[in-house]
Amino acid sequence: MQNLRKLVVFSDLDGTLLDHDTYSWDAAKPALDRLAERDIPVVLASSKTAREIEILQEQMGLSGRPAIVENGAGVIGVPGIDKAETYAALREALDRIAPALRHSFRGFGDMTVAELTKVTGLPPDMARLAQARGYSEPGIWSGSDTELDRFIAVLSAGGMTAQHGGRFLTVSFGGTKADAMDAVINALCPDLTLALGDAPNDRTMLEKADMGVIVANPHRPPLPSLVGEKAGRITRTQDAGPVGWNAAVMAFLDTLGSAEGHRRNG
Ligand SMILES: [Mg+2]
């Protein structure tokens, strides 16, 4: 199977490669092993911080691979991309928002470690890593939808954006997972890209990739129909989280392998 085209897999973590409740990726190990055997890079793309992602990369055997951190606000593992020290500026900008609106957004930086442990289910040492941010501020929105629209308008006027992830609203000075994909694609020069995600913050990534997979997440409303879905370029899994991830990647590699076989033999 040496003639596979140069594939790069981009994957969200929470609710996609990691189980929504347990954060386990055990069910995706067979597909991850198969990708590793073929030296196909798996680029993790998450709202997590660089330090959180580096730990997961090590556990998954992906150390040194590029990764998209903080929802696309930053990229690691790609030479020539500098870390921006934007987090302090972001916190200052958030604190300039009128208290009535600001009050409804409780960011990771507003929370104690105990509180963050409670809302994320992470153990305290991991919660501390989630607070070691460089580019963006995830948080819980507790206001109404109308207030959220106003909050987003105020952010936008200040040069900031807000993206909905699996369970958090993430504020940054911009940069989506798709923007960050460009930097990774420039560095790795793939012939083919596959992206997997479960939530609205994965949408641009799923639409940008050659092939996209929406991983089922019963904990949230299903994503609306995406560009490319009717044409079959984007598909949906039956099973949630790493179980769906494993099945989708296995099926993709099977299809790719048989297409390569036909090309070699025909
Ligand atoms: Mg997710």
Taking each continuous run of H as one helix and of E as one strand, the counts in the chain are: 10, 11
Cα of 14 vs centre of ligand 1, distance in Å, is 4
Task: Check residue 2 and give its pLDDT.
Answer: 46
Measured in angstroms, how far is the CA atom of residue 95 from the centroid of ligand 1?
A: 27
Centre of ligand 1 from the C-alpha of residue 262, in Å: 35
Gap between the Cα atoms of 171 and 140, Å rounded: 11
**196, 17 contact by CB (below 8 A):** yes
170-212 per-position pLDDT tens digit: 999 888 899 899 999 999 999 999 999 999 889 999 999 999 9
Q: Residue 52: how many CA atoms within 13 Å on its side-chain side? A: 26
pLDDT at 1: 47
Query: Going from the N-terminus, what domains does the chain have, and what CATH number goes with each?
Result: 7-81+176-265 (3.40.50.1000), 87-172 (3.30.980.20)
Cα-to-centroid distance, 259 and ligand 1 (Å): 30
Q: How far apart are the first and last CA of the chain?
A: 16
Q: Which residue numbers are catalytic?
A: 12
Contacts of 114 (CB under 8 A, 6+ apart): 124
User: Mind listing the pLDDT tens digit of every residue in the chain (266 residues)?
Assistant: 444 579 999 999 999 999 998 999 999 999 999 999 999 999 999 988 999 999 999 999 999 999 999 888 889 998 766 555 678 889 999 999 999 999 999 999 999 999 999 998 889 999 999 998 988 999 999 999 999 999 999 999 999 999 887 689 999 988 889 989 999 999 999 999 999 999 988 999 999 999 999 999 999 889 999 989 999 999 999 999 999 999 999 999 999 988 777 766 65
The phi and psi torsions of 61 (rounded to 5 degrees) equal 75, 30
Q: What gap in Å lies between CA 86 and CA 138, rounded to an integer?
A: 14
Q: Which of 88, 125, 122, 104 is nearest to 13 (CA)?
A: 122
Whole-number Å distance, alpha carbon 243 to ligand 1 midpoint, is 14
Torsion, Cα 214 218 219 222, to 10 degrees, reads: 50
pLDDT at 73: 86
In whole angstroms, what is the distance from residue 103 CA to residue 141 CA? Answer: 9
